[in-house]
Amino acid sequence: MQRPKQKKSRKDAASGLILTVLSSPLVGFAIVYATVGLLLSMMLAAHTGLDIFFVVIAMYGALLVTLYLILLRMLRRARALFQYMRAIRQESERTAHLSERMQQARTRLQMLETATCPAVQPATTQQQQQR
Protein backbone atom coordinates (compact mmCIF):
# COMPACT_ATOMS: atom_id res chain seq x y z
CA MET A 1 0.00 0.00 0.00
CA GLN A 2 1.42 3.35 -1.02
CA ARG A 3 1.32 6.40 1.17
CA PRO A 4 -0.13 9.56 -0.34
CA LYS A 5 2.53 11.97 -1.48
CA GLN A 6 3.04 14.88 0.85
CA LYS A 7 3.86 18.34 -0.38
CA LYS A 8 7.51 19.08 0.27
CA SER A 9 8.33 22.10 2.32
CA ARG A 10 10.96 24.65 1.37
CA LYS A 11 13.24 23.19 4.03
CA ASP A 12 13.01 19.73 2.42
CA ALA A 13 13.67 21.24 -1.01
CA ALA A 14 16.70 23.13 0.32
CA SER A 15 18.12 20.05 2.01
CA GLY A 16 17.55 18.08 -1.20
CA LEU A 17 19.44 20.72 -3.16
CA ILE A 18 22.28 20.65 -0.62
CA LEU A 19 22.47 16.85 -0.83
CA THR A 20 22.49 17.09 -4.62
CA VAL A 21 25.36 19.57 -4.49
CA LEU A 22 27.33 17.46 -2.00
CA SER A 23 26.82 14.26 -3.96
CA SER A 24 27.96 15.93 -7.17
CA PRO A 25 31.12 14.51 -8.74
CA LEU A 26 32.36 18.07 -9.13
CA VAL A 27 32.30 18.56 -5.37
CA GLY A 28 34.27 15.34 -4.97
CA PHE A 29 36.73 16.72 -7.49
CA ALA A 30 36.94 19.95 -5.48
CA ILE A 31 37.74 18.04 -2.28
CA VAL A 32 40.46 16.06 -4.03
CA TYR A 33 41.69 19.31 -5.57
CA ALA A 34 41.93 20.88 -2.11
CA THR A 35 43.86 17.95 -0.68
CA VAL A 36 46.27 17.68 -3.59
CA GLY A 37 46.53 21.46 -3.71
CA LEU A 38 47.59 21.59 -0.08
CA LEU A 39 50.29 18.99 -0.68
CA LEU A 40 51.48 20.76 -3.83
CA SER A 41 51.50 24.10 -2.06
CA MET A 42 53.68 22.66 0.69
CA MET A 43 56.07 21.25 -1.88
CA LEU A 44 56.07 24.52 -3.82
CA ALA A 45 56.66 26.56 -0.68
CA ALA A 46 59.54 24.30 0.38
CA HIS A 47 61.09 24.41 -3.08
CA THR A 48 60.77 28.14 -3.78
CA GLY A 49 61.29 29.43 -0.27
CA LEU A 50 57.98 31.35 -0.35
CA ASP A 51 55.93 31.52 2.77
CA ILE A 52 53.45 28.61 2.68
CA PHE A 53 50.70 30.92 3.89
CA PHE A 54 50.62 32.81 0.58
CA VAL A 55 50.77 29.65 -1.50
CA VAL A 56 47.90 28.08 0.47
CA ILE A 57 45.82 31.24 0.11
CA ALA A 58 46.37 31.20 -3.66
CA MET A 59 45.43 27.51 -3.97
CA TYR A 60 42.32 27.79 -1.83
CA GLY A 61 41.34 31.01 -3.58
CA ALA A 62 41.36 29.09 -6.85
CA LEU A 63 39.32 26.33 -5.19
CA LEU A 64 36.73 28.80 -3.90
CA VAL A 65 36.35 30.37 -7.33
CA THR A 66 35.87 26.90 -8.84
CA LEU A 67 33.25 25.96 -6.24
CA TYR A 68 31.47 29.28 -6.74
CA LEU A 69 31.24 28.71 -10.49
CA ILE A 70 29.95 25.16 -9.94
CA LEU A 71 27.31 26.41 -7.49
CA LEU A 72 26.19 29.16 -9.88
CA ARG A 73 25.72 26.65 -12.67
CA MET A 74 23.71 24.31 -10.44
CA LEU A 75 21.52 27.17 -9.20
CA ARG A 76 20.85 28.28 -12.79
CA ARG A 77 19.74 24.74 -13.62
CA ALA A 78 17.52 24.59 -10.53
CA ARG A 79 15.95 27.97 -11.37
CA ALA A 80 15.25 26.84 -14.93
CA LEU A 81 13.68 23.64 -13.61
CA PHE A 82 11.46 25.54 -11.15
CA GLN A 83 10.35 27.94 -13.90
CA TYR A 84 9.51 24.98 -16.14
CA MET A 85 7.51 23.32 -13.36
CA ARG A 86 5.66 26.58 -12.65
CA ALA A 87 4.78 26.92 -16.34
CA ILE A 88 3.43 23.35 -16.41
CA ARG A 89 1.34 23.99 -13.28
CA GLN A 90 -0.08 27.22 -14.72
CA GLU A 91 -0.91 25.47 -17.99
CA SER A 92 -2.73 22.65 -16.18
CA GLU A 93 -4.69 25.18 -14.10
CA ARG A 94 -5.63 27.06 -17.26
CA THR A 95 -6.69 23.82 -18.95
CA ALA A 96 -8.84 22.86 -15.96
CA HIS A 97 -10.45 26.30 -15.98
CA LEU A 98 -11.18 26.06 -19.71
CA SER A 99 -12.68 22.57 -19.39
CA GLU A 100 -14.92 23.83 -16.56
CA ARG A 101 -16.10 26.72 -18.74
CA MET A 102 -16.74 24.32 -21.63
CA GLN A 103 -18.90 22.17 -19.37
CA GLN A 104 -20.85 25.24 -18.23
CA ALA A 105 -21.35 26.29 -21.86
CA ARG A 106 -22.63 22.80 -22.78
CA THR A 107 -25.09 22.92 -19.86
CA ARG A 108 -26.34 26.36 -20.90
CA LEU A 109 -26.69 25.22 -24.51
CA GLN A 110 -28.75 22.22 -23.46
CA MET A 111 -30.95 24.42 -21.30
CA LEU A 112 -31.47 26.84 -24.19
CA GLU A 113 -32.28 24.04 -26.62
CA THR A 114 -34.90 22.52 -24.33
CA ALA A 115 -36.43 25.90 -23.46
CA THR A 116 -36.71 27.30 -27.00
CA CYS A 117 -37.43 24.24 -29.07
CA PRO A 118 -39.48 21.57 -27.27
CA ALA A 119 -39.78 19.53 -30.48
CA VAL A 120 -36.05 18.92 -30.42
CA GLN A 121 -36.21 17.29 -27.00
CA PRO A 122 -35.33 13.64 -27.06
CA ALA A 123 -38.38 11.39 -27.20
CA THR A 124 -39.27 9.41 -24.11
CA THR A 125 -40.02 5.73 -24.37
CA GLN A 126 -43.83 6.36 -24.27
CA GLN A 127 -43.60 8.82 -27.14
CA GLN A 128 -41.53 6.35 -29.15
CA GLN A 129 -44.11 3.59 -28.55
CA GLN A 130 -46.99 5.85 -29.66
CA ARG A 131 -45.29 6.50 -33.01
Has residue 89 got a pLDDT over 70?
Answer: yes
Tally of domains in the chain: 1
Confidence band, pLDDT 50/70/90 cuts, at residue 71: confident
Question: Are residues 30 and 67 in contact, defined by beta-carbon separation less than 8 angstroms?
Answer: yes
Alpha helices in 6-124 (DSSP H): 10-22, 25-48, 52-116
pTM above 0.85, yes or no: no
Range of the domain at 26: 18-115
- Residue 70 located in a structural domain: yes
Distance CA 27, CA 22 (A): 6
- Residue 46 located in a structural domain: yes
What does pLDDT average to over the chain?
76
Confidence band, pLDDT 50/70/90 cuts, at residue 104: very high
